[in-house]
Amino acid sequence: MSRTVQLFCVILVVIAGSSAFAKTTSEQPASIIIFPKIIADGTRDTFIQISNTANSVVHAHCLYVNSYPVCQGIGDCQAGTCTGACLPQWQEIDFNIWLTKQQPTHWGVSLGRLDQNTGPPCTRNVRTGERQYDCYSAGLAQGLIPPVPTPFEGELRCIEVDQSGAPISGNHLKGEATLISRDGDASKYNAVGIVGEPFTNNGDNTLCLGGEPSPECPTGGEYEGCPERLWIPHFAAGADNPIFGPTSTVDTELTVVPCRANFELASLDLTRVTLQFRAFNEFEQLFSASTAVECWRSFFLDDINQIFTARVMQTRLVQTLVRPVVPSGGGGSSVAAILEEIHEMPGGATARAAYNVHEVGDFERGEVILLPAGP
């Protein structure tokens, strides 16, 4: 099983102790939705679903950021033939969509979606009965959605805006992402939603997440804040899954993206975070580790530290708390994250399962998302 660790923003993890629930949501409609893990690398693709829960038209401004590394020498990073450094490209792609009342839309990130009101009817392969993609753009128009360049790995964010493009706290967007491999294996997670405050949003390009009034955010939080920490129950790396038997194994991949982002300066202002981990085995023994993330990162937990292995934990199941370090001089960021479990079954077959992590507490500092200036 290959393990590539890609960087997009720097993260380190700590753990802590507030009992309040975080205000982000994976089930309720929100004004900002974040898809932390978007993959289109030739082996896997991602299908996005976004729904409008309002009884009126809703507009959204969406931004992809591609962190897939580009070779700084000769060769190719994906093929492993690069003779120089492989550095994340931080390529940003933005687009606008609009949805009529109660309308969902969907697209594959490697394909995009046409801006048209109707499409051909769906057909099935006569021999296999499989549905064909000749109806891929059928349905109501939602705006042109460009395909991403491949290989791609990174994030997608969509912000609810009014008809002029100004951000608003409408809280009408919900989203899901399905990661599909070539062999048809699929894993699915809900977008992380950030709820907008009803009276403090001034509609400019600085989106203020939580916090008190400041020079950057004179009215305080325009949206509710991101979580103080993450709580992740998971298998120890290499542990067996009782459902599949003692020769099966489970590994856990965590994908993290800082809530703070500067889309105006993109690669010139990368958000760096330090995360600290505190892991407890079934005997309530404590283990700790830390790592760093810059803008985006997807990694196996046991690549961070061998404490996450079944050999060290000595138990099958683990409870892990993850907390962003808050530097005394400012900076840092809370994070949004999703988890994927990779199950290797007897005989070598593998399957993945994605899920949203539990979020606890409110990040103690206000954060901002800076959108690109309009034309």
Give the lowest-confidence range in 194-198, 263-267, 365-369.
263-267
Q: Answer whether residue 160 shows pLDDT above 90.
A: yes
Number of structural domains found in the chain: 1
Q: Answer whether residue 249 shows pLDDT above 90.
A: yes
Give the lowest-confidence range in 53-62, 100-109, 125-134, 178-187.
125-134
Query: What is the pLDDT at residue 136?
Result: 64
Tell whether 1 is covered by a domain: no
Tell whether 254 is covered by a domain: yes
Average pLDDT over residues 287-309: 96
pLDDT, tens digit, for every residue of 325-339? 988 777 779 999 999
At residue 119 the predicted structure's pLDDT band, cuts being 50, 70 and 90, is: low
pLDDT, tens digit, for every residue of 217-238? 988 999 999 999 999 999 999 9
Q: Answer whether residue 21 shows pLDDT above 60.
A: no
Average pLDDT over residues 126-134: 57
Query: What is the pLDDT at residue 17?
Result: 38
Tell whether 293 is covered by a domain: yes
Of residues 114 and 151, which shows the higher confidence score? 151
At residue 127 the predicted structure's pLDDT band, cuts being 50, 70 and 90, is: low
Query: What is the pLDDT at residue 24?
Result: 87
Query: What is the pLDDT at residue 270?
Result: 84
Which residues span the domain enclosing 194? 6-370
Query: What is the pLDDT at residue 121?
Result: 60
Sequence-distant (≥ 6) Cβ neighbours of residue 135 within 8 angstroms: 119, 120, 121, 122, 123
Average pLDDT over residues 80-107: 91
* Average pLDDT value for the chain: 87
Query: What is the pLDDT at residue 182?
Result: 86
Query: What is the pLDDT at residue 179?
Result: 97
Tell whether 375 is covered by a domain: no
Q: Answer whether residue 118 shows pLDDT above 60.
A: no
Average pLDDT over residues 97-124: 81
Average pLDDT over residues 139-153: 88
Q: Answer whether residue 18 shows pLDDT above 80.
A: no
Tell whether 224 is covered by a domain: yes
Query: What is the pLDDT at residue 1?
Result: 43
Query: What is the pLDDT at residue 10?
Result: 38
Average pLDDT over residues 193-206: 93
At residue 126 the predicted structure's pLDDT band, cuts being 50, 70 and 90, is: low
Q: Answer whether residue 153 shows pLDDT above 80.
A: yes
Q: Answer whether residue 110 shows pLDDT above 60.
A: yes
Of residues 189 and 143, which shows the higher confidence score? 189
| Cα–Cα distance for residue pair 189/246, rounded to 1 Å | 28
pLDDT, tens digit, for every residue of 23-71? 789 989 999 999 999 999 989 999 999 999 999 999 999 999 999 998 9
Tell whether 356 is covered by a domain: yes
pLDDT, tens digit, for every residue of 352-361? 999 999 998 8
At residue 363 the predicted structure's pLDDT band, cuts being 50, 70 and 90, is: confident
Average pLDDT over residues 208-222: 90
